[in-house]
Amino acid sequence: MDTFTPRAVEPAALTALRSADDAGRPFAPYTAEEGGEPLRCCLRRAVPGERVGLVAYAPLRRWAADTGAAPGAYDEVGPVFVHAEECGGPQERQPSEAYPFERAGVLRTVRRYGADGRILGGRLVELPGLEEAFADAFADPDVALVHVRAVEYGCFLFEVRRP
C-alpha cells in the first residue's frame, strides 16, 4: 500500500477546464477510439468510446493561487487528458499499480517544489520506485509538493503533497 496520496486535478479546476483551458482555448471533447489516454481527472486510462478532451493545464499556477505562492518562471502549462463530463474522480487502482499510470521499467520525472512555488530539484525514476522518490523528496522539510511527469512528453501525471 502506498504511503503518499496521488492527487488528481481538483473538481473546480476540471469544471473550469471544460469551459476554457489554462491557455484560454475552448474545450473540444472527442470520443476516444482506441482508449489509453491518461486521464488526470480520475487517474486511469480512457477506454474506447469514452468522451475525453485534451486541455492545457497549469498545475503549479493553480496550487499557487490557493496558497499564495509565486512560482515565477516555474509556472508551466502543459497538455493533460480529462473526461468530457464529470467522472467521480479517482477509483481504487489495480493491485499491480501502486501509483497511477505505473508500468515496470517506465521512466518518470519527480519534480520537487517549495512552499514559495519554486523548483527545488528533480529526479528521474524508473518504475517501480515512486514510493522511495517521494520519501526522499519529503525528507527535505522545504519540499511542499511534488509533480510526477512523463518523460516522453513532459506531461503532468499527478501531484503528491506533503503528508
pTM flag (> 0.85): yes
163 residues of the chain, pLDDT tens digit each: 458 999 999 999 999 999 999 999 999 999 999 999 999 999 999 999 999 999 999 999 999 999 999 999 999 999 999 999 999 999 877 666 789 999 999 999 999 999 999 999 999 999 999 999 999 999 999 999 999 999 988 889 999 999 8
Q: Which among 130, 9, 147 is positioned nearest to 71, based on CA atoms?
A: 147
Q: Which amino acid is at 25?
A: R
Query: Reduced to 3 states, what is the DSSP secondary structure of residue 59?
Result: helix
Q: Which residues contact 4 (CB under 8 A, 6 or more apart)?
A: 130, 131, 134, 135, 138, 160, 163
Alpha-carbon dihedral sign for residues 48, 40, 95, 126: positive
Q: What is the pLDDT of residue 1?
A: 41
Let me know: does 35 contact 54? Beta carbons within 8 Å. Answer: no
Extents of the domains making up the chain:
11-161
Q: Which residues contact 44 (CB under 8 A, 6 or more apart)?
A: 90, 91, 93, 100
Following CA atoms 20, 36, 133, 67 in sequence, which dihedral angle do they give, to the nearest 10 degrees?
A: 10
